[in-house]
Amino acid sequence: MNIQRTNQLFEDGTLAEMYKAGFVSTTIFRYREIYLWVDAQIKTRQISTNQAAMEAEVKFAVSRGTIYTALKKFK
C-alpha cells in the first residue's frame, strides 16, 4: 500500500473505523509509525536506511526483519 494513501485513510478516520469493525489489525498502525519514523530519520539526518533500521530496532523494540517488512509494505 502506498504511504500517501494510508496517511489519507488515517487522517480522515477511515483506518480507525476499519479497525473498530475488525477489517484491519493494529499491525498497519505500527508499520505506519515505523515507516514514518525511519523515513524522517533518513531525510532529516541524512543517514542510510540500514542505520535508521538499526536505530528503529531499539526505539520500537522489534526485530530488524519487522522494520524492513514495514518499509516494504509502504514502498
Q: How many CB atoms lie within 10 A of CB 3?
A: 17
Amino acid at 21: A
What is the pTM for the complete model shown?
Answer: 0.91
The tens place of each residue's pLDDT in the chain, 75 residues long, gives: 799 999 999 999 999 999 999 999 999 999 999 999 999 999 999 999 999 999 999 999 999 999 999 999 998
Which of 48, 29, 28, 30 minimizes the C-alpha distance to 39?
48
R_g of the chain, CA atoms, integer Å: 13
Quote the cell numbers at residue 48. 542510510
